[in-house]
């Protein structure tokens, strides 16, 4: 019976009681052991105690399961908070480093490089670039590139309004597209955002 239902309450009744049989019954999982003759009140008390014990065991398992689930959620939140703290520390360090470099007397392109490097560190992006809009030709000219696409950015000339970068530059509105090199993917994206400013002089 216990193998089929571990919560079953077993009360044994016998007219041939002995210490050995009582001990064996308890060892096998019996809740109580009644010797004949017994009264109805004795039986009712034994059943009530058994059912209360059964209820408590079930409740104990429920509480343990809730505790395990709460512990797992707590560990997940702890990992999440640890990741956020690590990211925040990295972002803070990036701002500190950028502030220190911006305080130095540097050329405009060197300052732009510092800003791009901080942007890569903060966003985890794989590439960043700065383009200048040439008023006469209406083209975008790559001034500075960092990351895997550095050579594709520097000295590139793109028509205004064409392609992702040209569309963003023409509209002045940031856009997010799937990674252009890896193909469509729900987990990777490339962001193009612009701040309009006068064309910088060529280095």
Phi and psi at residue 133, to the nearest 5°: -90, 120
39 touches 18 (CB < 8 A): no
3-state secondary structure of 76: helix
Q: Give how far Cα 25 sits from Cα of 9, 51, 100, 127, 162, Å.
A: 12, 18, 80, 74, 86
The β-bridge relationship of strands 11-14 and 32-35 is: parallel
Give the list of residues 6+ apart from residue 103 with CB closer than 8 angstroms, or none.
Answer: none
Radius of gyration, alpha carbons of the chain: 37
3-state secondary structure of 8: coil
pLDDT of residue 4: 85
pLDDT of residue 31: 84
Query: How far is residue 174 CA from its own chain's centroid?
Result: 26
Domains of the chain and CATH, by start: 11-65 (no CATH), 105-192 (3.30.450.40)
Q: What is the pLDDT of residues 121-167, one digit of tens each?
A: 777 777 888 888 887 877 888 888 887 767 777 777 888 888 777 78
98 pLDDT more than 80: no
∠ at Cα 69 (67, 70), nearest 5°? Answer: 65
Q: What is the pLDDT of residues 24-70, one digit of tens each?
A: 888 888 888 888 888 999 999 999 998 998 899 899 999 999 999 99
Task: Confirm whether pTM is higher than 0.85.
Answer: no
Of 97, 142, 152, nearest to 120 by C-alpha is 97
The β-bridge relationship of strands 157-159 and 32-35 is: unpaired
Of 138, 124, 137, 189, nearest to 166 by C-alpha is 138
Q: Give how far Cα 83 sits from Cα of 49, 73, 195, Å.
A: 51, 15, 30
């Amino acid at each position: 019976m216990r193998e089929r239902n571990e919560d079953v309450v077993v009360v044994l009744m016998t007219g041939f009681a002995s210490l050995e049989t009582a001990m064996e019954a308890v060892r096998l999982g019996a809740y109580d052991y009644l010797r004949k003759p017994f009264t109805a009140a004795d039986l009712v008390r034994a059943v009530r105690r058994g059912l209360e014990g059964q209820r408590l065991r079930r409740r104990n398992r429920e509480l343990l399961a809730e505790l395990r689930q709460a512990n797992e959620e707590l560990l997940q939140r702890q990992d999440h908070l640890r990741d956020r703290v690590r990211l925040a520390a990295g972002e803070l360090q990036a701002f500190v480093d950028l502030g220190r470099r911006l305080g130095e007397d540097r050329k405009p392109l060197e300052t732009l490089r510092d800003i791009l490097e901080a942007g890569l560190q903060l966003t985890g992006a794989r590439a960043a670039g700065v383009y200048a809009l040439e008023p006469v030709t209406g083209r975008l000219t790559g001034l500075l590139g960092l990351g895997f696409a550095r050579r594709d950015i520097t000295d590139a000339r793109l028509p205004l309004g064409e392609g992702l970068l040209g569309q963003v530059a023409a509209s002045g509105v940031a856009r997010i597209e799937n990674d252009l090199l890896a193909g469509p993917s729900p987990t990777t994206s490339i962001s193009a955002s612009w701040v309009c400013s006068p064309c910088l002089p060529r280095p």
